[in-house]
Amino acid sequence: MKLDKGVIIENIKTLFYALIIAVIIRSVLIQPFYIPSSSMEPTLLVGDRLFVTKYSYGYSKHSFPFSPPILNKRIFFNEPKRGDVIVFKTPADNRTDYIKRLIGLPGDRIQFIDSNLYLNNSELMKSRIPNKSKIYCGNRTIDVFKFEEQLPNGKKFHSVYLKDYSYQNSDVFIVPDDHYFFLGDNRDCSKDSRYLSSVGYVHKDNLVGKAQFIFFSSDKKIGNFLSFWKWHKSIRFNRTFSKIN
């Protein structure tokens, strides 16, 4: 059977155009992410797959695959809002993706006093709520108190703290210009802006995008995708297409 050279060329062109379109969508519009850690429980669980909008805060070199040096600053910048759940590149290597909640804006003063979070010398409002779900730290189940916290702009979300309040007091964190301060909702099981040597303050150019909604979620502790006979237990149907608060 003789192959038609024209057909081969057209197929290659089609694949090339499809690749270009996929890169454009991933860079400019939305990008899927997988949650590998428990640092954002109970908001995000290990096994959640979510979409992040790349256009929410404008674009920098980190908006593109492999962070090519094609932009020396952020363009079309939109200021993120306090309480947004954001994917960013860690300042330590400008390569690793982290996802945390935005707590501090430029110029803010942040401190933990007696395990309570203070923002600009005012304690964040929080009320304890019943916790009926398991909360993890890695592979360990941890004993926590669950709260509804409220930020000054009215944004409410759920956070958890170990019952022995292992992280009680801190120095004052003063957020520099053009930087942001992030915390994980699983407060005693999160490497975030409190740890200056590994994460610290995040420059606005390191923002990748805003987490919008979960499109699929599965519990790998029960079974992987190939274990189809366990799908009815492993797939978290109640989280599918749920908006991220």
Helix, strand counts (H, E) of the chain: 2, 17
Helices (H), the chain: 5-24, 231-234
Q: Is 100 a known active-site residue? A: yes
- Beta strand 140-142 with 135-137 is antiparallel
Residue type, 88: F
The CA distance from 181 to 132, in Å, is 30
The CA distance from 240 to 37, in Å, is 19
Catalytic residue among 54, 61, 89, 100: 100
Q: Is 39 a known active-site residue? A: yes
- DSSP letter for 7, please: H
Instruction: Give residue 138's Cα distance to chain centre.
Output: 17
CB-neighbour burial class of residue 89 (10 A; exposed 0-12, middle 13-18, buried 19+): buried
* Residue in the structure block whose two tokens are 């805060």: 57
Residues 6 or more apart whose CB falls under 8 angstroms from that of 178 comprise 106, 203, 204
Catalytic residue among 39, 159, 218, 234: 39
The CA distance from 236 to 245, in Å, is 18
Q: Which residues are catalytic?
A: 39, 100
